[in-house]
Chains A and B, each alone.
Chain A
Amino acid sequence: AQKITQTQPGMFVQEKEAVTLDCTYDTSDPSYGLFWYKQPSSGEMIFLIYQGSYDQQNATEGRYSLNFQKARKSANLVISASQLGDSAMYFCAMREGNDYKLSFGAGTTVTVRA
């Protein structure tokens, strides 16, 4: 079974608008961590934000925030005030328990229009 599901293959967003990228996950481990990475056309994966399963508050990092809904097993990424440089592929990933490994979703391509 897929551990991470990203249902949006591609999205367009107008510059300066906010965009929400969906991510749902599947785990039976009560301890887990959720990550979002950005991959520009250059190919390098850039870490954006992290949410732990026991964190009480939603994670935020600058223009990135993570809408964590534990009961629904969703961890959506919100990018506020989109910029042209935000055009990239975005991956949601999960680490379970003390495992070192990450499970990745299929990714969502975001294109920001001027």
Chain B
Amino acid sequence: DVKVTQSSRYLVKRTGEKVFLECVQDMDHENMFWYRQDPGLGLRLIYFSYDVKMKEKGDIPEGYSVSREKKERFSLILESASTNQTSMYLCASSLRGLALHEQYFGPGTRLTVT
């Protein structure tokens, strides 16, 4: 079974702190994604990566950056956390290629910025 793990289930940070959210997948997937989930808005794509060191902006990249130094690991970075970044963050991975390949999701990290 594909397994996508995220470093923390719950995280509380202060405004202005630098925050790292880590995601690891164990199925050699090429694609990895970071979403944020907010009530009434569904999931919105922040960044995705289709290969090591490759990244593309999603729909809401402002205030975030990412790093992919190894194929299995995709990190989301909040350079200076703000209260409007309080949200649930979901990581996902998928195979490259055929469009029918679904994305596999991690359990999510609920981040609170105070």
Contacts and interface: CB of A to CB of B under 8 A. Distances in A.
B99 A33 contact: yes
Contact of A95 (B50, B58, B92, B99): B99
Nearest to A35: B102
Interface in B87-109: 88, 90, 92, 94, 96, 99-100, 102-108
Contacts of A93: 43
A102 B108 CA distance: 17
Interface residues of A, number: 28
A107 B42 contact: yes
Nearest to B4: A44
A57 to B, nearest CB: 14
A45 B105 contact: yes
A56 interface: no
Interface string B33-68: 101000011111100101000000010000000000
Interface of B: 9, 31, 33, 35, 40-45, 48, 50, 58, 88, 90, 92, 94, 96, 99-100, 102-108, 110
25 contacts: A4-B42, A9-B40, A43-B88, A43-B107, A43-B108, A44-B108, A46-B105, A47-B103, A47-B104, A50-B102, A52-B99, A91-B42, A95-B99, A100-B31, A100-B33, A100-B48, A100-B50, A101-B33, A101-B45, A101-B48, A101-B58, A102-B45, A102-B103, A106-B41, A106-B42
